[in-house]
């Protein structure tokens, strides 16, 4: 899922003008699960802003990244002078597309695609490179989890299983090696991985997916 974290309160406050009627708009999908922009967080922020003197309301949509859902907040949005969207970057943009002319500010910073690792800890797992190869690397993506996206083994900075770039992060290649060794599959690493085709990645420009079979 998409992981996001709340912007510093001071930054959110800097988006607002005294006297504005504020709508804090939560999103019920990914950011609810990662506890940064769901109904609970929308209510908290709304209350916090009232404590700072604004007139606020909160409302949480099932998904802000889809126009159909966004339209369900039509009346609440019409009544507000400014919206703080607690959705990921996709949601904020979808909202902006649905409501031209409306002042909409992001309340979150979208950080990565990842998963909850333990209570209160989320980790990045996918870069969306458009060409999945995790099956070759014991389901540990070197593109995402190696700081240098190395395809042919660890760099010289791996120590005690940790990455030199961020010593609290595991070295992806140590994880790959350990798991393949345990499964007697080390030969999988002998082959030279050729240069990757990054054109499927973000480097090919904005991406689109078209499914003619389902288009109306």
Contact residues for another protein (CB under 8 A)?
A: 8-10, 13, 40, 43-44, 47-48, 50-52, 147-161, 164-166, 171, 173-174, 177-178, 181, 186, 189-190, 192-196, 198
Q: Please report where in the chains the tokens 């974290």 appear, as a residue.
A: 5
Kind and range of the H or E run holding 83: strand 82-85
Pick between residue 160 and residue 184 the one whose CB is nearest to another protein: 160
Q: Give least dist CB 184 to another protein, A.
A: 14
Going across the sheet that includes 2-6, the strands are 2-6, 108-118, 121-126
**How does DSSP classify residue 82?**
E
Pick between residue 19 and residue 194 the one whose CB is nearest to another protein: 194
Q: Give least dist CB 42 to another protein, A.
A: 9
Which residue in 89, 127, 122, 125 sits closest to 105, CA to CA?
89
CA-to-CA distance for 10 and 208, rounded, in angstroms?
36
Q: Give least dist CB 10 to another protein, A.
A: 7
Tokens representing 24 are 């804090």
- Residue 105 contacts residue 17 (beta carbons within 8 Å): no
Q: Give least dist CB 97 to another protein, A.
A: 28
Pick between residue 49 and residue 65 the one whose CB is nearest to another protein: 49
Pick between residue 72 and residue 148 the one whose CB is nearest to another protein: 148
């Amino acid at each position: 899922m998409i992981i996001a974290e709340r912007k510093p309160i001071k930054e959110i406050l800097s988006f607002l003008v005294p006297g504005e009627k504020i709508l804090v708009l939560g999103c019920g999908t990914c950011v609810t699960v990662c506890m940064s922009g769901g109904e609970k967080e929308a209510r908290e922020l709304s209350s916090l802003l009232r404590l700072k003197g604004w007139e606020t309301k909160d409302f949480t949509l099932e998904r802000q990244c889809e126009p159909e859902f966004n339209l369900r907040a039509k009346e609440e949005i019409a009544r507000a002078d400014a919206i703080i969207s607690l959705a990921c970057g996709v949601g904020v943009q979808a909202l902006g597309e649905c409501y031209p002319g409306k002042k909409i500010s992001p309340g979150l910073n979208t950080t990565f695609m990842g998963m909850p690792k333990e209570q209160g800890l989320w980790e990045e797992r996918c870069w969306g490179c458009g060409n999945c190869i995790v099956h070759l690397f014991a389901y540990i993506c070197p593109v995402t989890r190696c700081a240098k996206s190395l395809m042919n083994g660890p760099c010289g900075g791996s120590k005690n299983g940790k990455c030199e770039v961020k010593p609290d992060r595991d070295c992806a290649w140590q994880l790959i090696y350990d798991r393949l060794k345990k499964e007697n599959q080390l030969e999988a690493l002998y082959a030279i991985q050729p240069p990757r085709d990054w054109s499927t990645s973000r480097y090919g420009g904005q991406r689109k997916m078209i499914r003619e079979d389902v288009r109306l």
